[in-house]
Each structure stands twice: as C-alpha cells, then as structure tokens.
Structure 1
Amino acid sequence: MFERLAELAVRRSRLVLAVAVVAMALMGVVGAGAFGKLLGGGFDDPGSESSRAAKVIDERFGGEANLVLLVRAADGRVDGPAAARSGQALVADLKKEKELTNVLSFWDTGGPDLRSRDGDEAMVLAHVTGDEKRQRDRAQKIIDTYTGTYKGALKVRAGGAAAVGSDLSEQVVADLALAETIAIPLTLVLLLFVFGSMVAALLPLLIAVIAIIGSFAQLSLLGSVTEVADTTTNLTTALGLGLGVDYALLMTSRFREQLAAGASVDDAVRRTVHTAGRTVVFSAATVAAALAALMVFPQYFLRSFGYAGVGVVAVAAVGALLVMPALLAVLGHRVNSGRMPWAKPERSDAGAPAWGRLARTVMRRPALTALPLLAVLLLAASPLLGITFGTPDERVLPKDAESRQVSTALREHFNGSEDSALHIVIDQPVGKAPLESYAAGLSGLNGVARVQTSSGTYTGGQRTATGPGSAALARPGAQRISVVSTLTPRSDAAQNLVEDVRTAAAPAGTRPLVGGVDAELIDAKDSIGSRLPLAAGLVVLTTFLLLFLFTGSVVQPLRALVLNLISLAATLGVLTWIFQDGAFSSALGFTAQPMEMSMTVLVLGIAFGLSMDYEVFVTSRIKELHDLGEDDESAVVHGLGHTGRIVSAAAFLLAVSFFAFGTAEISFMQMFGLGSGLAILIDALAVRGVLVPAAMRLLGRSAWYAPRFLRAFHERFGLSETAPDPAAATGTPTPPTPYATHSTET
C-alpha cells in the first residue's frame, strides 16, 4: 500500500493536488450546512424510564413544559388590574402560536404557586413542539417575539429547557469562532519556531484545514441521517487542527531530513511515505479505536462524538498520506523557503540531546527519578476520591445568560419550581379513588411541596385544592401527575426523592413512568455506568492488539496501558479539583458543580486516544533501534533523543488547539478544552520523558517478550516503520539514512 501511495505522490503529484482542491471545494459546500442540521442536548438515554415518560407525555398530553416565561409587573403586583389585563393578553397570544401546546399561567388558572411569594412575578408555562432542532428554532422565535417589554405593563424573560438549549446553541457557535481565532494564528507562530521556514510551517496548517473542512462535511451528512450534537463542531475543530498539524509535522520533518541526508526529492518522498506514513496510519488507528468506543453509549451526545472523532481522524490521516506527499513532491527543496532569521540549517543527524540526556539519567536511576513524579501524579489524582457526577443544566451558561437568570429566579422566588418537577405518567386507566390515594401518598414524601393531578392538588398527604382540570392532566385511559419539590435540582436529596417516588406503591395494575430533570440524571448515570465497562474493554482490547502488531511484544501494550491509566487519573483528578471543587472558578468564570458525566467520558476517550498517538511515535523509534541490534538502554536513549523533539512540539501544538476552548463561556466546553490539553502535556512530557524510560529500564529484555506462536504471527502480519529501500524500484541509490527518523531540528 505504501509503495503505491509513494509512487502516486511522485508520478501524479499535480493530479493529486488538483483532485484535492476539487474535493475541498465540494466538502466546503456540503459542510456549510452542518450547523443547521446539528442538535442540542443528547445527554439522555432514549430507552430509559425518564425518556419513555417524556415520550408518552409528548404523545398523549402535548408535552412537558419546556419553556417558562417569567413575567414581572412593570408597576405593582402581577395581579393588579393593568398587569392582569396584559398578562391575559399575553397568554391569549401564546395560545395562538402553533408551535406551543399546554400554555398555562397564573392569570388563567389563579394558581398561587405560579406567582412569586412577593407577588411581583408570575410564570407562563408552555411546551415547544418538535424534535431538538425544531424546538430550538421555534423557541428562539417565541423568545424573540415575546421577551422584553410587553404592552408597556410587563417585563418578560425566557427560561426552561428550550430557552437553555437555544442559549447553548448560540454560545457554541460563538465559542467555536473565538477558539479558532486564537488557535490558528498561535499554531502558525509555533510552527514557524519549530520549522524555521514559512513554507514548511504552512504545510501542517493546510492539512489541518483540510481535516476541519472534511469533518464539517461528514457532520453535515451524518446530521441528515441521524442525531448529531452541535457541540461536535468544537471537537472536530480542535482535533482536526491538532491531528492535522501532528501528522503533517511528522511527514514534513521526515522529508526535510531525507533531503538533508542527500536524497533526491522523489526518493525523499518515497522514504517519507514508507516510514512516517506507516506511523501516521497506526497512530490514526489507535486514536480512532479509542473514540469509536463512544458509539456504544445510547446518548447521541457521546455517539455523535464517536462519529465525528473517527471521521476527523480519518480525514486528517488521508490528508497527510495523500495530499502532503504530493505537496512535498511539487515543492522539493523549496519546502525550506522563507527561512526565519533564527533558523539553523537542517541536519540529517538532528536530534534532541536534552531528551536523550533525560532518558539516560532516568535509565540509570529509574526509582530516584520516577517515584517523585509518580507521587505528584497520584497527588493530582487524589480529588477523584470525592468525585460526583451530574448532567448539564443552566449553570453551564455564563451568569448573564437570560435563561440561567430565570432558572435562578424560579428557585429563589417561588414555592417550588415547576421547571424542575417530577413528571409521572400512567398510560393505563386509573380510577379516581386509587389516583387520589396515590397522589396523597406522594405528597407526604420528604421534600415534596405539592402533587398536582387531574383530581386536585395535594400537600402533606391531604387534598388542598381543585386541580387545573382534566384537559391538562388527564386523557382517556391515561393520567399525568406533577410532583413539585422544595429540593435543589440534581442534589443528592432530589435524586433520593426520585427513588422514593419510583418505589412508592402505585395504583393496582399500573406501572407509572417517572421523568423530569432529576430522574433524567439518575437514568443517565445508570446508562453510562452500565456501558462504561464495555467501552473500556473495547478500548483496552483494540489498543492491546494494535500495539502488539506494532511492537511484537505482549508486555509493551500492558506497559502502555498502565502508564496511560496513571496519566488519565491525574488529568481527571485535576479537572475534578477545578470544575467540581471550584479552583480557579472566578478566573475562568464558571460555576462549580458535579462533573458532567458525558463530558468526563468524552475527555477520557480523547485523552486516551491521543496518548496512544505519542506512544506510537516513541515506541516506533525505540523498536526500530532495538531491531537493528542496539541494547535496551541505547535503544531507549537514542529513540527518545530522536523523537523527543517531535513529541514535545506536536504535544504543544495539539494542546494549543484544545486550550483555546478554555476561553469558552460554556463550562463543560472549558472542561473539554482544558482537560484534553492538560492530558496531552502530562502524557507527552511526564509519561514519555520519565515514566517510559524508567519502565523500560525496570522491564529490561522482558519488555519485548511474546510467546513463540505470537512472535511467528507478528513476523507475518505485524506492522513496522522500517521499510525497504524505495529507490530499489528506480535503480537510484538512496543515501544512508541516519536514525533521526522524527527530528524537527531547524
């Protein structure tokens, strides 16, 4: 395969580039429509009890209230004559909107719980119809039409799940634009320092742009056939920019070294594809395998990141394997054009002496150098002892977001929040007496403010008022019950209440379904937790197999997995300290809350995949030297000496693309960016620089152990970066190639 790719780049370079330009244009046209097809949310398991409850409520009762208009009287109380007239007019106008159902307010029900305790504010509840995308668009239309000043007597603000989703979608686009504005110029500056040449620096950025454009095109296509979360645009941008630069950096560095060694342009391209190209393929396979495991989760938030992750890795790899060699073949020695004043001439024996010296020191004193670092990493992981998990709510938005302010006002100014009530649906006939008994029992549970049914409202085990009417909470053969509590949404007490409601004695012959935000949290944790072992098992298995095929050892994959586990634990511990415990919350502008479970899984998947990226870079060089007869210590020292510079450069460049999302206004996107960037740096510097040589020293020759039958299997099917002389086919001798396979010395 690599021979054919190399010959295609050498003999048909301009044709390859012409096809690439056309493909980019087509992908750009397709990708331009991606944002209109992507959805918000996606954190719930569609097969969970809470999701099934929501589906029944949608089909039989017109949907749960997902839009809350918080109305304040401009002068006086909301039950004053002027405010009442305007409020009734507002409700009448809302009921005419085709996108809304179940419009309910203080003015048409007189329910005191829909009015604030001081009487200055009132709620209007409604359900915005449609799927996630239609809800978002329709909610924004309603918000634009009715918020602000209404008829001079009311001040209207929007909240609820639909308003939060709309604010999130708008903020995702703004955060993405800001991150790109920061990451792309900064990446170019860093590439100039790495390569010391304007042309060489622009090549990786070009591959990154191809990766991003291609990824948006595949998101647009996926969005046409399945549910894809809008936040995947952030992943495709960060990962596409990072991996595109990563792979192109490897290819360009290898090509420049070959030219410096005296090879012709064509032979330099061939050797680059044979060696660095193999590493790109294997690295892409390991990253894609880790991200593909996200597809086992039923939440489309995680599944869509699996789709997008695999897609962006594939596009970045294809760009590096097809477009980059063709560009190098056309440019030839002009790849070094635009040399910066500080740049040194490219040398064929370039390496990173500091990395080699560090590796030698660690190899000679593995315990003395590795144990203190291990202690620091374990200390960083210690916050995991107190980790708790949650799902996103309005607090992930900035404090000045209107939907967040409305949610805060509902909790602080009203007797129980209708927005966070538990929704029970019984899709079976229920007699009046059993229904009343069931509702009375629920109203006596700890933390319950009231229970609303078609037969009345219940508090403290007693019926206290007539209900809002069968039109709202009763259908032929079905009943709906609303349980409003005084508990903080998503708190431990609120989750305990869900369990109490689900285990309460139900009317005979019925199976109530319990939904609502707290029920969704419990179901999401159960859903992700139950599938996490499968996802982890798939990642471990595929990683083990791929590393075995690359190294021929059964010990190297185990060593890599253990060190990656330590790195991931340290990263997650630091994230817990920051985002759950609140360290730097003022500086970063977020509200501390339990770790968002889906985003935590996503960060771990990305971090694991990228750690294997650098594992391949380092191990491939060590393995090559080992196979050429160097002793274990020399292979590690020389291997790290020649790969350390590219690993550190690639790590900083990749981390920059993720750290740019630390400027996001959405807190879980800050966590995504900072967590991924931090994991990359810990792995590339601490693990590759210290723990890998220490482990190799302690393992000795056993590091390359494999049973005889597996060695035979590897000899036949295994992967290697070493390739036959590509000049053999042309009859042109290739200059001797030194071991500096991955140097980026400028």
Structure 2
Amino acid sequence: MFAKWGSVAYRRRWVVLIATVLLAVVGGVWGIGVFDKLSQGGYEAPSSEAARADKVAEEAFGRQNGDVIVIYRGDFANQLELKKIADHISGFPKDDVLKTVGPVPSDDKRQALVAITLTSGDSNEQIKQFEDIQKQLAVDGFSQQVGGLVPTQKAINDMSQADLTRAEMFSLPLVLLLLVIIFGGLVAASLPVVVGGLAIMGALGVLHGVAIFTEVNSFAVNVASLLGLGMAIDYGLFMVGRFREELAAGRTTEQAVGRTVASAGRTVMFSATLLVIALAGLLLFPHGFLKSLAYGGMSSVAIAALVSLTLLPALLGVLGHRVDKLAMPWRKKEPSERGWRRLSGKVMKRPVLVAVPIIGVLVALGAPFLGVQFGQVTEKVLPEGNTVRVATENINQNFSALSNTGFKIVVKGGDQAAVQDYLGRVKDIKGVGDVQPLGSDKGVTSASAGLEQDALSDESKQALKDVRALAPPAGAEVLVGGNTAMVSDSLDAIADKLPLMIALLVGATLILMFLAFGSVLLPIKAVVMSALSLSATFGVLVWVFQEGHGADLLGITPGPLESGIVVLMAAIVFGLSTDYEVFLLSRMVEARGQGATTEEAVTIGLAKTGRVITSAALLLVVVTGAFAFSQVAMMRFVGVGMILALVLDATVVRMLLVPAVLKLLGNAAWWSPGPLKRIQERLALHDEPVDDDFDDEVREPAAVG
C-alpha cells in the first residue's frame, strides 16, 4: 500500500505538491481567526459538586463572582475616603460591569477592596470587558493593585502568546542551523522546516473549526506549535535521510521515492498513529482544558504526518539528486556508521552489566513521583513580582473572606434557622475561618467561608472533607464549591478516567506495534521502556517543581503540580518514547526479515537510526526547550520536562537499554504464536520486504560483539 502511494506521489508530484501547499496555506490563513476564539477556562470538571454549586448560586442570585479585584491604598479610617471610591466605581459602564461590592476596608484601614463582577460569563468576553474598564479603575489620590481571576487569565494569556512568539523566533533559526549541520546541505535541511511550518498552519485551521463548536483553551495553540514543528522535523529527518540513502545506493529518483515511502513512510504513519492515540486519551477526561490540548496535539501530529507523506515525497520527486544542492564542505562523504556499530557491539557483549544499572537509575529517578501533589493553575504560575500576582496574593492574605480562595457554600431548601445553625457548625470546623452569608433568594442560601491556611494545603483539603461530611439542614441539599473544592473534584475526575487512558495507551501500543512488527515481546518491551522513561522524567520534575530543588535557578515558586499539564506530559512523553522505539525497531525488523541474526539486526537498526534518533531528539529539545524559558511556570514545566524526557529516552533508553534487552531476549524477541502471526499477516499494513543487501553492511569486524 505504501509503495503504491509512493509511486503515485512521484508520478503526480506537481499535483500533490500544489494541492498540499494550497490546503495548508488556506487553513493557516483561516486559522489565524482562532486567536479571537480561545478561552482561558476549562480547568474544572463540569459535573462536579463545585461546578454545580456555582450553577445553583448563579441561577438564584445571578453572577456573584468577583471577576476583577481592586485594592486601593489610603487612609480608610476616614469615611470620606471610602465614599470617594464608592462614588467613582458607581460610574462604571453597565454594559461591562454587572455589579460591584465594596469598598471594604482592611483591618488596619490602610487598604480597601472593591470586587467587580462583569456582565459576561464567557472568559474571552470577560477579558475584553476588563480591558474596557481597566483605565477607569484608577482613582485620584489612591494607588492601586489589580488582581483576581480575569486579570490573572489575561496575564497568563498575554505571556503565553509572547512566549510562543519568542520561542518560535529562537527555535526556528537554530533548528535550521542544526539541520544544515546534520544534513550537510541547505536544500535538504529546509525540507523538514517547510513541513513543520505547513503542519502548524494546518493545525491552526483545524483548531479554528473546533473552536466554532466547543471551548478551546489558549494553550492548545502552544501545544499545536510545539508538536507540529517538532514531529514534522522528526518525520522529515527520517524520510529525507532514507531518500538520500536510497539515492546513494544507486536507485533512480522514482525508485528512491517509492522505497522511502514504503519503509520510512510506513514507520512515520505508525508512529504518528500511536502518538495521536496517546493524545486522544486526553479526550476521556471531562475537563475542557484537557480536551483542548488533545485537539491541538492530535491535529498538529496528524497533519505533520500527512504532509510528510504527501508534500515531502512530491518534493523529493521534484528535487531528485538536487536534494544535495548547496552542500556544505563536510558533506563530501557519507557519515560513518562505525561508531554506532561499535557501541552496539560493546552493549551486546555485556548486556546485563548495561541493563541492570540503567534500570536501577531510572527507578531511583522516578522515586520522588511517589510523593507527588496536584494543584491547579493559580496566580503562582506568573513570575514573582508580577503586578497581578502580587495583587492576588495581597487579596488572599488580607481579604481572605472576600477572595475566591475560600469555600462557597450553597444551601437549597430548609428553613433559615436550620441553615444558620448549619453555617455555625461550618465555622467550628478546624481550618475554616469566618463564615459570611452572601444572600438568600428563591429557596437558596449562599455563604462564603474563609480558610486559615492556603487553599490547596492539606489542612484546607481536610476541612473540605469535614464540611462535606456535616449533616445538612433538614430538607435541604448542601453544595460546597470554591477553589479547594474545584481542585479536589477535578483531581477525583482525573483519577476516575486515568485507568481508561492508561488502558488506551498500553492497548493501542501493544496492538499497533504487533501489527507493525509481528512480535509479541517487542510491544511489551516498548511499553515497559516507555514507562521507565516516563516515571524517571516525572520523578525529576517533582523533585524540582514541587520539592523546590533548583527552583531559584529556574525562577519558579515550588508547589503542587498542575494535574492537567501532568496528564498532557504523560501522553506526549509516552507517545514520543514509542515514536523513537518504532523508528529504531523498524530497521531492526527489516533486517531480521532479510535473514539477519538478532545481533546483526540490532547492529543494523542502531547503525541506521542512531544518528537519526539522536538528531531528531536534539532538534526537538531545541523546539520544546525554548519553553523552558517561558515566563509562565506551567509552560516552563513542559519545556524542562520535554528536555529531560528526550535526553533520557533518545540516548540512555534507546541507544543502550533497548539493544541490551534485545540481546538478552535473543530470538524470542521476534516470536509470536502461529495464530497471531497469521492474523498479523492478514491485517498488517506491510509491503514486500525492502532488500538492502544487508550482507555487505553488517559483517564488519566491529559489528557484533
């Protein structure tokens, strides 16, 4: 099937090339409109108790949230000063501001808080309304701080867009330079970058289409950009490298294109399918944030693979031997594979001595993950000293009862005496501060309960359990919301769906890799290797981002890990681990199918793909590593995590541990029961074996230990 497509792509190369470019460009132009439709929400579980508490309160009282919080500084022991602020805020435009609460003076009378509820409940519209009134917040004679949910969302959004632009400006030139060094020529080096650019444009078009029908969080664009460029470069590197290899073997351009698509193209399709399925696991969760990340990741990876299998073969067909035009001086001879052959030989001489220490180190690195704590996106993802973060921390410290960090208690039904008695019992619970009634209407009573500790502390989480365990007033239903409740409910929702995601990742990997390679043990080994790599990565991330080792160096505030980002990272790292495994095993299985022994197959696979995999990992480190310098802590988490995962996986795991384990498995690595083998032969998307005359390649003195 893939060989036939390669032939079609060559014969109709101009049609394929023009059609692919037009579709991607049109999609990209239309996709620019997605930036006006992106949201900042979706972090909560929609059907949770905390979400229902918000809904019931809003139905009874209208929107009550203090979307924007302003703290004014002055001498508020003087009632005239308070009146001056009250008169000023009464003039806010009614189209933007639904209501205001305050000014409420602090205990020392040096600060006064004003809570502003905006008319819209849509996060995009709220940011626009905040921008409309932002200049009107200033009052002559008073300094001010502006914080709260909407300003925090706007700050995160602005910084994320700036970080994305800066990351692309930094990574694209450096990636092109590295590609020139790796390929030894400008023409060959430009091809993966072209594929990456078109993949990002196409992904933006898809996201715009999705945003018309459902909520899409702004971080979906970051993920689409990161994975679109990164995977396009990976796939382009693999395809262009194989094409040049075929040309160097004396094949015609048509033969080289067909054989490239039949071998490398097939591998790209399987790799992309596995990564798309891994990202599809995010759709299992109810959170709009995770679904958004799935949309961005799936679309960019799928389009990167499609462009690699359409535009790239067509371009290679047009270029032919001119793919080596504008070559650098070092391109005069093919890169040597002797180093990789020697490495393979040394590893397979002492496989136990190589495998056991590596496994031990990976397990040790993963140990801190056993103490992981999860949280949510708060103002702490902003840099220390950021004005919005400083203001929000001030609110939480000095106006805890009016901040959004406490419990929101909603009581449906029951007589007022019983409700007040219940609220009195809430106040007596350890960890709960002042309880202030917010109103009663339509049989619903709402109250705010402050917290004595941080909203995400163990004490506050225990207080939430204790409040929810209280017997409700007779004939009434009690719903407890607020930040602590929202985070706890969100984590419970993730925990409920996480086993399904793991089953999807593992099941898809086992099935697709079996169909690709016809072995039972190879897919199992791949899952174990990916799990080791994933656990080691997360262990180091917990050690740094939660426990704070090196936090000052990275400029982050240690704290619980944002659960959605952790789930995203798990999907991406597992998918990339499997991606490199497929690249490596494809050449090993290809050689094995031509009669090579296990040692010869491992040597060929490592020699042919070692340079490609390490180069691909290096390039992806540059693309994703740019996010390690992000101003937003959660994107810095992604950047640092991707660097760790890629370095561990593409070097230690794939280049050392995999060959050692395959040596220990011996011929059993390629085995599968007869019935399963027959099923694989009927279902697998395979072509006739590609003869590489491996006899001339592998039987060198340093090939096998």
- Same fold? TM cut 0.5: yes
Does residue 1:445 correspond to 2:429, yes or no? yes
Contact 2:401–2:436 under 8 Å retained in 1: no
Secondary structure of the residue that 2:454 maps to in structure 1? coil
Secondary structure of the residue that 1:427 maps to in structure 2? strand
CA distance in 2, matches of 1:591, 1:8: 55
Secondary structure of the residue that 2:91 maps to in structure 1? helix
Does residue 1:696 correspond to 2:680, yes or no? no
Residue type of the alignment partner of 1:120: R
Which residue of 92, 97, 102 corresponds with 2:94?
97
Give 1:229's aligned residue. Answer: 217
Residue type of the alignment partner of 1:551: F
Which residue of 113, 118, 126 corresponds with 1:135?
126
CA drift at 1:101: 2.9
1:92-111 deviation digits (Å, cap 9, x = unpaired):
124x43333342113xxxxx
CA spacing shift, 1:740–1:402, aligned 2, 3 Å: farther
Does residue 1:291 correspond to 2:279, yes or no? yes
Percent identity for Structure 1 against Structure 2: 37
Q: RMSD of the alignment, in Å?
A: 1.9
Give 2:32's aligned residue. Answer: 32
CA drift at 1:37: 0.9
CA drift at 1:5: 2.3
Larger displacement relative to structure 2 (539-548 or 414-423): 414-423
CA distance in 2, matches of 1:507, 1:158: 38
Give the 5 Å matches for 1:636-675: 636-675=602-641
CA distance in 1, matches of 2:238, 2:575: 18
Give 1:119's aligned residue. Answer: 109
Q: TM-score w.r.t. structure 2 length?
A: 0.95
Residue type of the alignment partner of 1:199: V
Contact 1:208–1:316 under 8 Å retained in 2: yes
Residue type of the alignment partner of 1:136: I
CA drift at 1:24: 2.7
Give 1:41's aligned residue. Answer: 41
CA drift at 1:542: 0.7
Contact 2:25–2:202 under 8 Å retained in 1: no
Does residue 1:322 correspond to 2:310, yes or no? yes
Give the 5 Å matches for 1:182-331: 182-331=170-319
CA drift at 1:415: 5.8
Secondary structure of the residue that 1:34 maps to in structure 2? helix
CA drift at 1:518: 0.4
Q: TM-score w.r.t. structure 1 length?
A: 0.90
Give 2:585's aligned residue. Answer: 619
CA drift at 1:82: 5.0
Does residue 1:577 correspond to 2:568, yes or no? no
CA spacing shift, 1:319–1:415, aligned 2, 3 Å: closer
CA spacing shift, 1:351–1:560, aligned 2, 3 Å: farther
Larger displacement relative to structure 2 (353-362 or 2-11): 2-11
CA drift at 1:688: 0.7
Contact 1:139–1:166 under 8 Å retained in 2: no
Residue type of the alignment partner of 1:543: T
CA distance in 2, matches of 1:722, 1:317: 22
CA drift at 1:91: 2.8
Residue type of the alignment partner of 1:169: N
Which residue of 609, 630, 643 corresponds with 1:677?
643
Give 1:83's aligned residue. Answer: 81
CA distance in 1, matches of 2:126, 2:399: 26
Contact 2:60–2:442 under 8 Å retained in 1: no
CA spacing shift, 1:55–1:87, aligned 2, 3 Å: same
Give the 5 Å matches for 1:399-410: 399-410=384-395
CA drift at 1:737: 8.3
CA drift at 1:354: 2.0
CA drift at 1:239: 0.5
Give 1:497's aligned residue. Answer: 463
Residue type of the alignment partner of 1:533: P
CA drift at 1:647: 0.8
Secondary structure of the residue that 1:418 maps to in structure 2? coil
Contact 1:352–1:643 under 8 Å retained in 2: no
Secondary structure of the residue that 2:329 maps to in structure 1? coil
CA distance in 2, matches of 1:724, 1:652: 29
Give 2:409's aligned residue. Answer: 424
CA drift at 1:68: 4.0
Which residue of 339, 343, 356 corresponds with 1:358?
343
Residue type of the alignment partner of 2:415: G
Secondary structure of the residue that 1:199 maps to in structure 2? helix
CA drift at 1:274: 1.3
Give 1:54's aligned residue. Answer: 54
CA distance in 2, matches of 1:207, 1:644: 22
CA distance in 2, matches of 1:573, 1:231: 24
CA drift at 1:723: 4.3
Residue type of the alignment partner of 1:103: T
Give 1:436's aligned residue. Answer: 420
Gaps of 5+ in 1: 107-113, 454-471, 726-734, 742-746
Does residue 1:167 correspond to 2:155, yes or no? yes
CA drift at 1:240: 0.7
Contact 1:212–1:312 under 8 Å retained in 2: yes
Aligned length: 697
Contact 1:82–1:153 under 8 Å retained in 2: no
Give the 5 Å matches for 1:560-599: 560-599=526-565
Residue type of the alignment partner of 2:89: V
CA distance in 1, matches of 2:489, 2:677: 46
Contact 1:449–1:484 under 8 Å retained in 2: yes
Contact 2:2–2:687 under 8 Å retained in 1: no
Secondary structure of the residue that 1:665 maps to in structure 2? coil
Contact 1:261–1:737 under 8 Å retained in 2: no
CA spacing shift, 1:91–1:414, aligned 2, 3 Å: same
1:445-503 deviation digits (Å, cap 9, x = unpaired):
112221112xxxxxxxxxxxxxxxxxx51112211111112221211111111111111
CA distance in 1, matches of 2:669, 2:456: 48
Give the 5 Å matches for 1:151-166: 152-166=140-154
Gaps of 5+ in 2: 699-705
Residue type of the alignment partner of 2:434: R
CA distance in 2, matches of 1:342, 1:662: 32
Contact 1:72–1:154 under 8 Å retained in 2: yes
CA distance in 2, matches of 1:55, 1:500: 23
CA distance in 2, matches of 1:689, 1:437: 67
Contact 2:184–2:328 under 8 Å retained in 1: yes
